Structure 1
Amino acid sequence: MINAYHNGKVNIADDVIGVITTIAASEIKGIKALSGTFQDDVLEMIGKKNFNKGIEVEMIEQQVTVNISIIVDYGFKVQEIAKQVQESVKLAIESMTGLEVVAVNVSVEGINTKMNA
């Protein structure tokens, strides 16, 4: 991503947006985890931490679309949790980067039924 200013350019990598998304989503009560791909799971097994697990970022010019997969704790209202994730992620990205978030697409991949996990 490139922002043009009078003194030069500022590049914001997709991974930066991913980290902001991860932190914003993890602050929502009722989110057990972000749900990643098989590749994410393999990386974690060999000791490589993936901070963008379960997150895809698409940037065009100054506009960002985020796709995030989550696992919700049992007992929480899925629609409310998803809406909170959308609002939190949008606010965090826009306030930290100045980019416009056009969509935060949330996929609920599972429900955590372990009450003390």
Structure 2
Amino acid sequence: MEKDTRKDDNRNTYVLQGDESIGSVQIADEVVAMIASLAATEVEGVSAMAGNITNELIGKVGVKSLSKGVKVQVAGNTVKADLALCLEYGYNIPETCSKVQEKVKNAIENMTGLTVTDVNIRIVNVNMEPGN
């Protein structure tokens, strides 16, 4: 039965804080990816992450789906994030991407204490349907 409780051991986790007198704090790379995904979809002009995950749908889908369109690489205390985004038609792409980069960087750094070195964005689609 112990093998069933250790399924999460296969995920990549990183020590955020190690104090042997109290214990340690670890974070899974999936959590960093979820933070990036949520931050990106909060920016006006971002339609969804690749895979059509929007903030409105998050409550209806599983946690695994939340980090679709995001790849993170954690090395030591630094993070590199790669995001695949769908944008709304009519928004300035460089300006919107700059806002996403700043929001993702701030969200990851504030929530984890890790340093974000790169937030790379790939535009995979432009939503041509009129907004609400």
TM-score, with normalisation over the residues of structure 2?
Answer: 0.75
**Higher relative contact order (Cα pairs below 8 Å, separated by 6+ residues):** 1
State how far apart, in whole Å, the 2-side matches of 1:110 and 1:5 are.
Answer: 42
Kindly state the Cα deviation for residue 48 of structure 1 after the two structures are TM-superposed.
6.1
State how far apart, in whole Å, the 1-side matches of 2:85 and 2:66 are.
Answer: 14
State how far apart, in whole Å, the 2-side matches of 1:9 and 1:86 are.
Answer: 29
- Gaps spanning 5+ residues in structure 2: where? 1-13, 52-59
1:104 aligns with 2:119: yes
Equivalent in the alignment of 1:81: 96
Kindly state the Cα deviation for residue 23 of structure 1 after the two structures are TM-superposed.
1.1
TM-score, with normalisation over the residues of structure 1?
Answer: 0.85
Aligned alpha-carbon RMSD (Å): 1.8
The runs of at least 4 consecutive aligned structure 1 residues that moved more than 6 Å come to none
Equivalent in the alignment of 1:24: 39
Equivalent in the alignment of 1:2: 15
Q: How much identity, in percent, do the aligned residues show?
A: 34
Equivalent in the alignment of 2:8: none
- Gaps spanning 5+ residues in structure 1: where? 37-46
How many residue pairs are counted as aligned between the two chains? 108
Find the structure with the greater CA-based Rg.
2
